[in-house]
Structures are given as structure tokens and as C-alpha cells.
Chain A
């Protein structure tokens, strides 16, 4: 099942990241996972939150440059080689990964990794057929 990720375009100037997190906090939105990629001029902050639709509306209303993307949350065995196994499955299926980042929480002893791939539905199919657990939206929000 696909998970909704919020992406926010941020200029590299002080206080922008703080402004986003403060805004979400004030509106009772909990951040489940995050990643930041940046250059000298700007960055993209990616968030998995408990209420993505609400977060999107609030950020947009407050003038942030924001978009929503579908990603998948994958349970990876929390032991050496765990991530490599999952990547091998995707590679064998010829699927490109645009980016990935790790979750802060765990689910039933597994580490959680967020994957952004071109075709999330196909990736979910490939992974589940190979016995890899892909988390449902509700599960991710509840972690």
C-alpha cells in the first residue's frame, strides 16, 4: 500500500525548517519520518506524518511551496544485509529507486525504510511476492 509523503521546497535561509516544524507542531501533526536533501541554494524536506492531507493544506495555506508524492514503506529485517536483500529484489525486477530514507520507529522488530520509486504499485507487487512486508498507510501513521 502506498503512503503519502509531503515534500516542501525550502530556501537555504535560517529559520525555514524551524518554521515548518513549528507550524506542524501547533496543529498537532506528528512527524513519523523525515529526510532533507540540499544544495547551497535550496533543499527539499520530505515528511511522513500522521495526517498528510491536513499537513498539506496547512503548509499550503501558510505559503510554503509543497507537493504530495506516493512512496512505499518497507519493513526491512533489522540485521546485517537486511536492506541489501530488499534492494536486490528491486534491482532484479529492473526498478529504479529515486531516493530512500530510514524511519525513526520500528515495526515488530523490523527497521522501516521509505522508498520512492517510479511505479510504486509495481514495486509493492514485486516486494510482497518476494515475501517482503510493505506497510499499510494506517500502520505507518500509527507508528
Chain B
């Protein structure tokens, strides 16, 4: 693998230096040359590529082939600001479908499956990415896209969907709607879920598995690198195999930029070894994870990444304490009577940061007793305090009163920021 990676990396840096004015300038300024890549570790001499650079070169400034060779464009969802554009050559699309197929097969999809894709179709890479990958596997693809939830559930019943594909938060919302419609989810043919496009916790996984009676698997990708298909869980679950023959991973300290040894948690950085349209060298994903090079019981030899626990840029600093929304989610999902929908509101009162966790009562969470309600609220507050080392305000709200997301859920409202772009 390392020999293949090195060959591909050397070819990549040579081609990128020749074809991309952006990288030529960046590397000239940093004083690095493609010939300096003698080993894989030599990549560490090269400067990082950031999302800001992609934005500054909007729309086509980072492309390394003429536009005539680009057969598809996608744009990132722009969760944190202006969107970024990516272009694919015909070969890029073929590899993308292969990589998604790999992720799907690892998760357990076969050609006998009927896969309902509830990711949005459009500029977002989720819908089309999974679509062509699942077709490549030979599964029967149902391109429903996101939204119109009642109809989704109707189709699921009528067509005998066996695999559900979408964001984990939408999968949970669909379960709620199914329940309201009086659908017994244990009677459905659904057996497997492929979820991604946003960080989610193990507790959320259990919740989805319980409500749908399925196995819920995680996969990882980002549009800048390719879209879904960068990594995915195998039948043993837990950690995701990275297709490192196409995506070379590193983990760095997000503050210093220093490379971290295997196993240590930090920010994931990827180099696209084979991409033509918009190759990226040392792209900072902002996703927090760690790499595991130990053998996997499944027999696949590729490196595995830990489930993404958060993003280096969605880490909240509240009264000097680092807080990841995933920590809050894990607590809420572990308490009966609340959730699964929640929101985190951060504000500044005077000079003090104030954090409020708004969570819905579950249907069973309300007994009608004042005492039970107070006890529940106290339990949520105390568990959060233990997990976060700071005391949040807790607000219980009515079931179904928070906004449901069809795509990536908006969980954090930080009123301290003037803009949403950081």
C-alpha cells in the first residue's frame, strides 16, 4: 500500500505543480518542490490547503484541468459560510462511484438490496454520490431525495426498501413520522442504514437502531475531497476503513499544524492521490478523529479512522471550557424521557458566556407530575454538568416543537458570533 501511495503521491505533486497555478504559487512561496517527495513522510514539508483557499479561488481557481474536461460540478452545502465548488472529470466520477460502492459493500449492501436515498439530490454530493455508488454495487436504487417524509415512509412500505441512506438526524425524524403514521417499523423490510454527512454519536446510533430495528452504519466523506465514499464501517463497525489508495490521511494538531503519531486524536488531513478535477494536497478537514493502523478482524488492510467526534471549528469555548456539541448529544441520548431533538444556544450575558440546552420531552417523558418533570430537568442538568464541567441552563420543550431537518441538522446557535462564517 505504501509503495502504491508513494508512486501516486509523486505523480500527483508533479502533475499539480505543472497544471495548477494555485499550487505552483503556494509551493514556490513555501520553497518546496515536487522532486522533494522521496518518501511518504516528505509530504509533511508541504503547506496545508484550507477551505478558505477554496473560497478565495471560487469558483474554478483550484481546478487542475481545463473546464472542458470537467463533466460534473458540485458545491458544498456551505454550512459554515460561502459554498465551495468542486469539479469532476469522467475518471473522477468513475473512481467516486467505485469508492462509494466499496463503502456500501463494507457496510453490508448487496445487489439484492433496495436502497432508498433520502439525501438531497443536487449540488450536495450526498444524493448523487450514493446513487451511483449503489448502482455500481447493483442494488436497486430509489432516488427519493430528502423531504416529503410521509411519502418516504409510504414508499418504504410499498417498495420494500431494505437500505436507508441519509443523514442520521433525518433518519431519526423519519422514525418519528413513521410512529405518528402508526407504522410498525419492526414489520418493515428495512435492515440496514448508511448514514453520514454530519457528526453523530454512538448514543444516536443506538436510538436509530432501536427505532428502526436496523443496523445503522457510519460512513465518511466531504465534498472537497470527493463526497461520500472516503471511508466507511465494515461489518465489525466502530471504526471506518479509509480508501487510502485514493485518499492519503494524516492527523495533525489543529493548533500547531504538527503531525501526530497514529492513535492520537487530532484534525484529519487528506491528500487526494488520484483526483484530476480538483486535486488537493494536505487538505484540512476540520474533522476531529484518529487513525488506527492495527489489523481489523474483517481482514481488510486499510487504515481505519475513528468516528468523527466533532469539528475543530464547531468546538465551543464557553467560559474557557472546550465543549463539543457531540458531548451534549451523548448525554441527552442516554436519558429516558428527553430527546432525540435538541438545540444548544450560546450567548453572552455581560462578560459571561451562557449556555442553554433546549431539549424536547419525549412522548413518554411526560407523566403529568410536576415532581417527575423537575426530577427530569435536574437529571439532565446534572449529567450535563458532569460531562462538560460547567453548568448549563436546561429548558424542556414540547415534543415536536423544535425544527426537524431534512439534511444536516442545525444544533448550535451561537449568538456571540456576529456572522456564521468563521
Do A and B bind?
yes
Binding site for B on A (CB under 8 A): 5, 7, 9-11, 37, 41-42, 44, 46, 63-69, 98-99
Listed A/B pairs (17) with beta-carbon separation below 8 Å:
A7-B366, A11-B398, A42-B395, A42-B397, A44-B368, A44-B373, A63-B399, A63-B400, A64-B398, A65-B361, A65-B363, A65-B398, A66-B366, A69-B368, A98-B369, A98-B370, A99-B370
User: With A41-B396, A42-B396, A69-B367 given, can you name 10 additional A-B contacts, CB distance below 8 Å?
Assistant: A7-B366, A9-B398, A10-B398, A37-B370, A41-B395, A42-B395, A42-B397, A65-B365, A68-B368, A69-B369
Quick one: closest A residue to B397, CB to CB?
A11
B186 contacts chain A at the CB level, 8 A cutoff: no
Roughly how many angstroms separate A67 CA and B372 CA in the complex, as a whole number?
13
The 4 closest A-B pairs by CB, nearest first: A7-B368, A67-B368, A69-B368, A65-B399
CB-CB under 8 A from B361, the residues of chain A are 9, 65
**Cβ contacts B381-418/A at 8 Å (1 or 0 each):** 00000000000000111111100000000000000000
Quick one: closest A residue to B399, CB to CB?
A65
Roughly how many angstroms separate A26 CA and B384 CA in the complex, as a whole number?
42
Binding site for A on B (CB under 8 A): 361, 363, 365-371, 373, 395-401
| B403, chain A: closest CB distance, angstroms | 14
Number of A-B contacts (CB under 8 A): 46
Quick one: closest B residue to A64, CB to CB?
B398
Roughly how many angstroms separate A98 CA and B371 CA in the complex, as a whole number?
9
Interface of A is mostly: strand
Roughly how many angstroms separate A67 CA and B365 CA in the complex, as a whole number?
10
CB-CB under 8 A from B397, the residues of chain A are 11, 42
In the complex where A9-B361, A65-B361 touch, is A44 in contact with B370 (Cβ < 8 A)? yes
| A63, chain B: closest CB distance, angstroms | 5
Quick one: closest A residue to B395, CB to CB?
A41
In the complex where A11-B397, A41-B396, A42-B397 touch, is A67 in contact with B366 (Cβ < 8 A)? yes
Roughly how many angstroms separate A44 CA and B369 CA in the complex, as a whole number?
8
Roughly how many angstroms separate A44 CA and B377 CA in the complex, as a whole number?
14
Roughly how many angstroms separate A7 CA and B372 CA in the complex, as a whole number?
13
CB-CB under 8 A from B396, the residues of chain A are 9, 41-42
Roughly how many angstroms separate A77 CA and B397 CA in the complex, as a whole number?
40
| B80, chain A: closest CB distance, angstroms | 30
CB-CB under 8 A from B395, the residues of chain A are 41-42
Roughly how many angstroms separate A120 CA and B236 CA in the complex, as a whole number?
52
Quick one: closest A residue to B364, CB to CB?
A67
Please tell me if the beta carbons of A9 and B369 are within 8 angstroms of each other in the complex.
no
Please indicate which of the listed interface residues B361, B363, B366 has the most CB atoms of chain A within 10 Å of its own CB: B366
Please tell me if the beta carbons of A65 and B371 are within 8 angstroms of each other in the complex.
no
CB-CB under 8 A from B401, the residues of chain A are 11
| B349, chain A: closest CB distance, angstroms | 15
Roughly how many angstroms separate A10 CA and B396 CA in the complex, as a whole number?
10
Roughly how many angstroms separate A27 CA and B25 CA in the complex, as a whole number?
73
Please tell me if the beta carbons of A67 and B367 are within 8 angstroms of each other in the complex.
yes
Please tell me if the beta carbons of A65 and B370 are within 8 angstroms of each other in the complex.
no
Roughly how many angstroms separate A63 CA and B177 CA in the complex, as a whole number?
11
CB-CB under 8 A from A10, the residues of chain B are 398
| B116, chain A: closest CB distance, angstroms | 26
